[in-house]
Amino acid sequence: MERRGFIQGMAALAAYGALSGRSAKAQSLDKKAIDDMQKNWKALLADGTPPVTTTPPLKLGKDEWRKRLSDIEYNVLRDEGTERAGTSPLNAEKRAGVFVCRGCDLPLFTSAMKYESGTGWPSFFTTIPGAFNKKTDYKLVLPRTEYHCVKCSGHHGHVFEDGPQPTRERWCNNGVALKFIPKNKA
């Protein structure tokens, strides 16, 4: 990781701690509301969307991925890179809809799962069940939980235990790894 990127990341984390930018929406939800949200996410999609758990894996070669993705998208999704904090227009996205994987269009999060974390990356306090696989990442020496799309294995970000109640999770996602589908277009 470049020194400048590391310093920017550390500054974003410090700002997050100082701001405690958790939304009232996320703080006011209880466990039952989270469970209902995870079960009813398909209401935001068009009829006929397959359940996450029945989606077959997408396996493409490097050249096919390079044709499908921009350089920064490829770096994040295929090489486990990170976009600069504060650069994604999805940070400000507030419409109802679904966030899908940029690599394969698998539904990952709904707009109701998103909150303002103050980190500079789109953040979510839960996911659509079955959307991700997790692994431990030691790139910054200390262990972090990294997550990847279950369909295309694309890297999306890291999950931390400093999010809002009741999950206490912050799914910190690279914006370039996502596409947003507004409810009226789903």
Residue 152 in this model has a pLDDT that exceeds 80: yes
User: What is the value of pTM for the model shown?
Assistant: 0.74
pLDDT for res 139: 79
Band the pLDDT of 21: cuts 50, 70, 90: very low
Report the pLDDT averaged over residues 66-87. Answer: 96
pLDDT for res 84: 96
- Domain ranges in the chain are 3-185
∠ CA(129), CA(169), CA(22), 5° rounding?
120
* Distance in angstroms (rounded) separating the CA atoms of residues 80 and 22: 27
- Spatial strand order of the sheet with 144-149 comes to 114-115, 123-124, 170-173, 155-160, 144-149, 132-137
Looking at the domain 3-185, which fold is it? Answer: 2.170.150
Q: Give the chain's radius of gyration (CA, Å).
A: 16
Residue 12 in this model has a pLDDT that exceeds 50: no
Residue 136 in this model has a pLDDT that exceeds 50: yes
Share of the chain above pLDDT 90, in %: 60
Band the pLDDT of 49: cuts 50, 70, 90: very low
- Residues identified as active-site: 172
